[in-house]
Structures are given as structure tokens and as C-alpha cells.
Amino acid sequence: MRLPVFITIFLAILFSSCGEYQRVLRKDDMGKKYAMADSLYKMGKYRKSLKLMEQIVPSYRGKPQGEKLMYIYSNTYYKLEDYYLAGYQFERFTQAYPQSDSAETAAFKGAKSFYHLSPRYSLDQKDTYKALEKLQEFINRYPNSGKRVEANTLVSELQEKLETKEYEVAKQYLHVEDYKAAIGAFDNFITDNPGSHYRKDAFYGRFVAAYQLAINSIPSLVQERLVTARGYYNNFIKYYADTNLAPEATKIYQDIERRTATAQTESLVN
């Protein structure tokens, strides 16, 4: 059965182009490799283009075509979502060509590469800190950049992720009944994150942890620790009296007052 003419032509072109690509890939003609890599890059055939670029990048360092090649080489990794190598190559590009017209874009994409590497909050946040560092460097270096708003948005997202991790760690201490550690963790969170939307929950968590520590202490420490818990209640209610957590906090506070009054009565009787 004969294939339609247009399919035959298409297959002929396809095999011809594949054959040409393989020939250029095997040969030592740097000029042809460069031209084909550039052409494939423009067509969005990034994997094929990358194979050629990997062969020629060292040969073009310091040459006039090197600047363009290094940029599209870095951007190819970005397009392929290989963000480790994209971040590394964009950083090398900005160091090698600080006056390039592409330097600002490269700096932003390099920083954004680390943003893409930032894992979910429950994992190690080394890459998140790296992304924050690189984004802040970009903002400082290009204060009037059109990418500044997006860069600030990315910074806010990463900071919120770090806040979430810190808050969840404190909450976990409370969950496993390590009340002293919970109080310390909530204290640190409140100090370190004054604008966080978890702030209300941190104030409440610290109060609950102090209350639980008090009522689960040996008798000689209960009253002293109830006084501390009362202080944390006052801190909470000062800022969050009209929130959904206030009724439960007040219920706990009333139990503190009841326990304190009972202890005082027993002390007088004895």
C-alpha cells in the first residue's frame, strides 16, 4: 500500500533532518554546531540543542559569540526545568558578562531557579534560604527592574514557607507534650515573625503550652507556672480578644483562676 505523497515528503524531510543533526553532532565543525544549536533552540527543541551546546561552550569562551551562547545555554536548562544547572549557569553568565544586556534577565532567572528548587515546608529549607539570598541580591542590584514586583512576591512566598515550618515545629512540640520546648519555640516564632498570619495562633499556642506545663508539674511548681500561664493569657487577650480563639483561651484562664483560688484556700486552711 502506497503512502500519500504529503506523508512521504514529511517522512523524507524528517529523516533527512535527523540525519543532518547526527552528522553535525559527530563532526568537529564548531561553526555548524553553533548554527544548528541556535536554530534548534529557536524552534524550542531544547534537548537536541543542548547536546550540541555542551560540545561547543568551552570553545566559545572569550569569543564574540560566547555571550549569546552562554545565555541560551543557561536558558536551555531553565526551559528544561533543570533548575540546579540553570541557577549555576546563569550565575556564571552574570559573573562573566556583568555588562550584558541579558545580565538582568539572567540574574532574575538564576534567582528564580532557586525559588523553583525550594521544597515543601516540611523538608530541609537549605534551597529556600539560597533562593531568598539570590532574590534579595537581584532586588538590591536592580531596584528599578520590571521584575522587582515578581521578585518581591517570590520572596514573600518563601518567607511564608519558612514561617509555616517554624510554626509547625512549635505546634508539634505542643502535640507531643514537650511543653517547655513548645513555649520556647512559640516565643522565638513571635519574636522572629512580627507580621506573620500565624501570630495569633502562636500567642495562643504559647499560652496553652504554659497552662499544660503548669497543671502537669509537680505540686511545688504548679502555682508559679500558673502565674506564668496567666501572663501569657494576658498577652494573648491584649491583641486577640475579638478572635475565634478568645473563648477557648478564656475558658482555660478561668480554670487557672479556679486552681489558684483553691490553692490559696488550702494554704489558709493549712
C-alpha cell at 110: 538564576
Identify the sign of the CA torsion 121, 124, 128, 133.
positive
- Checking if the pLDDT of 11 tops 50, the result is no
Q: Is residue 264 part of a domain?
A: yes
3-state SS assignment for residue 270:
coil
Helices and strands (H, E) in the chain, number of each type: 12, 0
Q: Is residue 124 part of a domain?
A: no
Q: Count CA within 13 A, CB hemisphere, residue 135.
A: 25
**pLDDT value of residue 15:** 42
Residues 27-35: contacts with CB within 8 Å, 24+ apart?
Answer: 30/56, 30/59, 30/60, 34/60, 34/65, 34/69
pLDDT band for 203, please (50, 70, 90 cuts): very high
Q: Is residue 35 part of a domain?
A: no
pLDDT band for 262, please (50, 70, 90 cuts): confident
Domain extent at residue 226: 177-270
Q: Which DSSP string do the residues of 192-244 spell out, in sequence order? A: H-TT-TTHHHHHHHHHHHHHHHHHTS-HHHHHHHHHHHHHHHHHHHHHHTTST
Q: Is residue 104 part of a domain?
A: no
Q: Give the C-alpha separation, 215 to 205, whole Å.
A: 16
Question: Could you tell me which residue, 16 or 158, shows the higher pLDDT?
Answer: 158
Q: Is residue 39 part of a domain?
A: no
Q: Which DSSP string do the residues of 91-158 spell out, in sequence order? A: HHHHHH-TTSTTHHHHHHHHHHHHHHH---TTS--HHHHHHHHHHHHHHHH-TT-TTHHHHHHHHHHH
Q: Is residue 139 part of a domain?
A: no
Average pLDDT rounded to a whole number, residues 118-125: 95
**Torsions phi, psi for 239 (to 5 deg):** -105, -25
* Cβ–Cβ < 8 Å for 40, 48: yes
Q: Is residue 7 part of a domain?
A: no
Give the distance, in angstroms, between the CA of residue 178 and the centroid of all CA atoms in the same chain.
Answer: 28
Q: Give the C-alpha separation, 222 to 260, whole Å.
A: 9
Q: Which of 197, 183, 192 is nearest to 235 (CA)?
A: 183
Q: Is residue 256 part of a domain?
A: yes
Span of 2-6, 15-19, 180-184, 194-198 with lowest mean pLDDT: 2-6
3-state SS assignment for residue 63:
coil
- CATH value at residue 201: 1.25.40.10
Which residues contact residue 222 at a Cβ distance below 8 angstroms, ignoring those fewer than 6 apart? 214, 215, 259, 263
**What mean pLDDT value characterizes the chain?**
91
* Number of structural domains found in the chain: 1
pTM over 0.85: no
